């Protein structure tokens, strides 16, 4: 369109009709369009005058670009759900991976770093890699079409362009590579920041009571400054892409102008002045897609660094897996048995050669000083860890041969550290099960939680805040007991389950638990004498070994470790 336009402006009188018919061919595109366009323009000039011919060319140009941008919009419109969908799928895979990973992973890795991979890293992949994919699908069409047109107009000048452009691309690439490592460092520091903020929010009462605000502020400022320094460098390198690509692009244009201009002046090329100007204008169209590639290259370096961090989490091997053809066990009928069970963590023995039988319906209390292995005993039974030696059996089946879902469905757990979710009281009690409101009310009543729940603004549908922050410590604990009651599992595990209750609530909950435990098998960890003395059997652990077993009266008469714990008021 541009060449006839220039011909119309500069050589209107010289435009001659092309009588020879030119067939459409990929190898004669220039001649085909020139013949048809010239004849059309000449016809318009003859019938309506030069001004109207100029108007036709301008109107056609606007129409072509209007159609181009309609298609451009629809391309983005239909690509948008793909772009957000990929990011959403990655985020879902990461969350599902977090749910499936073994418990020890979260002891060995910062929670904030895991959170950063799920949020910031996924966002970087969306902005970086998916933006690059958009560019990679769209811009090559423009670049190829432009290069084909340039080749048709002047193969010699196009050859110069193809030699010079890769040089500028190489320069941009060298700078972009440094961005990848900087991005990885930035995301790591973001994870450290997230961890510190999470720890601060969780421990705000302790921080204030120890007046540690200044120290923590200084620590945060140090990490934040490092993150700021890396971030500033990344932004500077990224923002260098646009001016650098533009400068290198104009350098290429100047070289083409100089070489092509000399060819036209010296008549060493069949290219006319109008065709040369058209060549320059068409060549300028390749600069924007090339610039988009250079910008996308910077973003993809950041995206690749984040993708690597995401893949590390997705490819993390789960140390606790279901066995092939794992059994589905829905009922507990006989006994739990620990046979020669030992467990070591980081080459430190935690439990040593434990042998213990817990028949169905029996209540076992585990006692001992901190670090004696009581909590590990429970976590091995729930298969949060696997035993180092020996085996744990339920109804004669090794728990490694039972699906983890079935194994844990057989147990109800109440821990000393309450874990509640930012949700309603109903959903916290029904965690993992379908909601049966009457059963929820019954569980809350048995756990002595119904009274305070019914006083909440929306009763059972009241949101209790992060980890139940809107409730007192005793109320939180009673809600977790209600959750275990609602689950109605045949095996109950109580790990300091009444430690946060006041005397009145403790008595009521104990009465409820006594009724609840009549047909249950229970493993109870407690330091309070009132909790353990009614157990069928008390097991005393010390340094990972079972050193005493028996009822409260039997162990007191032996004058051993249990009596020492009672006398020292550790029970």
Among 319, 343, 365, residue at a domain's last position: 319
Q: Is residue 386 part of a domain?
A: yes
Q: Is residue 324 part of a domain?
A: no
Query: What is each CA distance from 540 to 51, 356, 390, 550, 560, in whole angstroms?
Result: 105, 12, 20, 9, 10
Is the pTM above the cut of 0.75? Answer: no
Q: Is residue 529 part of a domain?
A: yes
What is the predicted pLDDT for the residue at 34?
67
Nearest-angstrom CA–CA distance, 151 and 157: 8
Q: Is residue 328 part of a domain?
A: no
Helices and strands of the chain, counted as H and E runs: 22, 10
The C-alpha R_g of the chain, in whole angstroms, comes to 38
- Using DSSP's 3-state secondary structure scheme, residue 540 falls into strand
Q: Is residue 246 part of a domain?
A: yes
Among 84, 100, 116, residue at a domain's last position: 100
Pick the closest to residue 310 from 80, 128, 108 (CA basis). 128
The reply to whether 176 and 295 lie within a common domain is: yes
CB–CB of 6/278 below 8 Å?
yes
The reply to whether 78 and 119 lie within a common domain is: no
Pick the closest to residue 322 from 392, 404, 407 (CA basis). 404
The reply to whether 406 and 547 lie within a common domain is: yes
Domain that includes residue 19, residue range: 1-100
The reply to whether 281 and 404 lie within a common domain is: no
Q: Tell me the CATH number at 110.
A: 1.20.1560.10
Q: Is residue 6 part of a domain?
A: yes
Q: Is residue 330 part of a domain?
A: no
Nearest-angstrom CA–CA distance, 489 and 432: 13
The reply to whether 340 and 448 lie within a common domain is: yes
The reply to whether 549 and 447 lie within a common domain is: yes
Helices 273-314 and 155-202 sit at what angle, rounded to 10 degrees?
30
The reply to whether 148 and 192 lie within a common domain is: yes
Side-chain-side CA neighbours of residue 377 (13 Å): 36
Nearest-angstrom CA–CA distance, 543 and 255: 81
The reply to whether 432 and 490 lie within a common domain is: yes
Neighbours of 329 (CB within 10 A): 18
What is the predicted pLDDT for the residue at 571?
45
Query: What is each CA distance from 484 to 172, 330, 427, 438, in whole angstroms?
Result: 61, 17, 13, 15
- Using DSSP's 3-state secondary structure scheme, residue 187 falls into helix
Please give the sequence-ordered ranges of beta strands (E in DSSP) within 443-530, or none if there are none: 491-495, 521-525
What is the predicted pLDDT for the residue at 2?
63
Among 264, 284, 319, residue at a domain's last position: 319
Name the H helices within 269-410. Answer: 273-314, 374-381, 404-409
The reply to whether 223 and 185 lie within a common domain is: yes
Q: Is residue 481 part of a domain?
A: yes
Task: Write out the chain's pLDDT in tens, 571 residues.
Answer: 666 566 665 655 555 655 566 666 666 666 677 667 767 777 777 777 777 777 777 788 888 889 988 988 887 788 778 777 888 888 888 888 877 777 777 767 677 777 778 777 888 887 777 777 777 777 777 778 888 877 777 777 777 777 766 776 666 666 655 665 666 677 677 767 777 777 666 666 656 655 667 777 787 788 778 877 877 776 776 666 667 766 776 777 777 777 777 777 777 666 666 677 777 777 777 767 766 776 676 677 777 778 888 888 888 887 778 877 877 888 888 888 888 888 887 778 888 888 888 888 888 888 887 777 788 888 888 888 888 888 888 888 888 888 888 888 888 888 777 777 777 888 888 877 788 888 888 888 887 788 888 888 888 888 887 777 788 777 777 888 888 888 888 888 887 766 555 666 666 667 666 666 767 888 888 776 666 767 788 888 888 888 888 888 888 888 888 888 877 765 4
Nearest-angstrom CA–CA distance, 409 and 433: 10
Tens of pLDDT, residue by residue over 215-238, are: 777 877 887 788 778 777 767 766
CB–CB of 322/403 below 8 Å?
yes
The reply to whether 38 and 69 lie within a common domain is: yes
Q: DSSP for 110-169?
A: -HHHHHHIIIIIHHHHIIIIIHHHHHHHHHHHHHHHHHHHHHHH-HHHHHHHHHHHHHHH
The reply to whether 177 and 248 lie within a common domain is: yes
Side-chain-side CA neighbours of residue 7 (13 Å): 19
Nearest-angstrom CA–CA distance, 323 and 247: 61
Expressed in percent and rounded to 5, the helix, strand and coil fractions of the chain are 65, 10, 25
Q: Tell me the CATH number at 547.
A: 3.40.50.300
The reply to whether 492 and 424 lie within a common domain is: yes
Phi, psi at residue 359, to the nearest 5°?
Answer: -65, 155
Q: How many domains does the chain have?
A: 3
Contacts of 324 (CB under 8 A, 6+ apart): none
- Using DSSP's 3-state secondary structure scheme, residue 282 falls into helix
What is the predicted pLDDT for the residue at 141?
79
Q: Can you say whether residue 267 is alpha, beta or left, with left for phi > 0 and alpha for psi between -120 and 50 degrees?
A: left
């Amino acid at each position: 369109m541009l060449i006839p336009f220039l011909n119309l402006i500069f050589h209107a009188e010289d435009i001659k009709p092309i009588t020879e018919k030119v067939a459409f061919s990929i190898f004669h595109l220039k001649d085909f369009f020139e013949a048809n366009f010239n004849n059309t323009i000449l016809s318009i000039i003859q019938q309506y005058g030069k001004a109207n011919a100029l108007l036709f060319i301008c109107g056609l140009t606007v129409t072509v670009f209007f159609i181009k941008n309609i298609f451009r919009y629809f391309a983005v419109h239909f690509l948008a759900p793909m772009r957000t969908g990929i990011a959403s799928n990655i985020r879902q895979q990461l969350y599902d991976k977090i749910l499936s990973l073994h418990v020890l992973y979260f002891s060995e890795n910062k929670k904030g770093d895991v959170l950063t991979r799920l949020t910031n890293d996924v966002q970087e992949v969306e902005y970086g890699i998916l933006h690059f994919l958009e560019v990679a699908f769209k811009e090559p069409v423009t670049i190829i079409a432009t290069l084909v047109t340039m080749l048709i107009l002047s193969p010699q000048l196009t050859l110069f362009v193809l030699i010079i452009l890769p040089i500028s691309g190489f320069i941009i690439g060298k700078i972009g590579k440094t961005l990848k490592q900087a991005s990885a460092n930035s995301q790591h520091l973001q994870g450290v920041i997230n961890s510190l903020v999470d720890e601060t929010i969780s421990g705000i009462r302790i921080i204030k009571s120890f007046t540690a605000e200044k120290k923590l502020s200084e620590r945060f400022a140090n990490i934040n400054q490092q993150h700021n320094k890396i971030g500033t460098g990344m932004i500077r390198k990224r923002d260098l892409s646009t001016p650098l690509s533009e400068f290198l692009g104009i350098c290429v244009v100047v070289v083409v102008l100089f070489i092509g201009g000399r060819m036209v002046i010296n008549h060493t090329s069949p290219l006319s002045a109008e065709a040369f100007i058209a060549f320059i204008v068409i060549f300028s169209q390749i600069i924007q897609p090339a610039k988009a590639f250079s910008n996308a290259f910077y973003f993809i370096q950041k995206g690749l660094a984040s993708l690597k961090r995401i893949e590390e989490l997705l490819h993390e091997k789960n140390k606790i897996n279901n066995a092939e053809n794992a059994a589905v066990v829905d009922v507990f009928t006989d006994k739990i048995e620990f046979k020669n069970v030992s467990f070591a963590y980081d080459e430190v023995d935690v439990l040593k050669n434990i042998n213990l039988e817990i028949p169905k319906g029996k209540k076992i209390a585990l006692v001992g000083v901190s670090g004696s292995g009581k909590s590990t005993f429970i976590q091995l039974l729930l298969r949060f860890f696997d035993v180092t030696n020996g085996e744990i059996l339920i109804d004669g089946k090794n728990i490694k041969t039972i699906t983890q879902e079935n194994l844990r469905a057989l147990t109800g757990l109440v821990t000393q550290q309450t874990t509640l979710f930012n949700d309603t009281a109903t959903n916290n009690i029904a965690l993992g099960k379908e909601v049966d409101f009457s059963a929820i009310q019954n569980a809350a009543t048995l756990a002595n939680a119904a009274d305070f729940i019914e006083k909440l603004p929306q009763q059972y549908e009241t949101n209790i805040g992060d980890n139940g922050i809107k409730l007192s410590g005793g109320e939180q604990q009673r809600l977790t007991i209600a959750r275990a009651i609602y689950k109605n599992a045949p095996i109950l595990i109580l790990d300091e389950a009444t430690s946060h209750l006041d005397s009145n609530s403790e008595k009521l909950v104990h009465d409820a638990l006594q009724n609840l435990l009549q047909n249950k098998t229970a493993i109870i960890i407690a330091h309070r004498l009132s909790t353990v003395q009614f157990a069928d059997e008390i097991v005393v652990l010390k340094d990972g070994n079972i050193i005493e077993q028996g009822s409260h009266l039997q162990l007191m008469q032996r004058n051993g470790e249990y009596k020492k714990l009672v006398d020292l008021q550790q029970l």
